Amino acid sequence: MIFTHEMKNNALVVRLTGDLIGENNSAAVVEVVTEAIQQKVKNCIVDISGLRYINSSGIGLLITILTKFRNKGGEVYLMKPSESVQKLLVITKLNAIFQIIQSEDEVLKS
Rounded to the nearest integer, the mean pLDDT of the chain is: 92
Domain count, the chain: 1
Give residue 87's pLDDT band: very low, low, confident or very high (50, 70, 90). very high
* DSSP code string of 82-108: -HHHHHHHHHTTGGGTSEEES-THHHH
Give the pLDDT score at 105.
Answer: 86
Its domain, for residue 10, covers 2-108
Give the pLDDT score at 110.
Answer: 66
Q: Using one digit for the tens of pLDDT, what is the confidence trace for 17-32?
A: 999 887 777 899 999 9
- Which domain CATH number covers 67? 3.30.750.24
Q: Using one digit for the tens of pLDDT, what is the confidence trace for 24-62?
A: 778 999 999 999 999 999 999 999 999 998 998 999 999
How far is the CA of 8 from the CAs of 1, 12, 22, 27, 76, in angstroms?
22, 6, 26, 22, 14
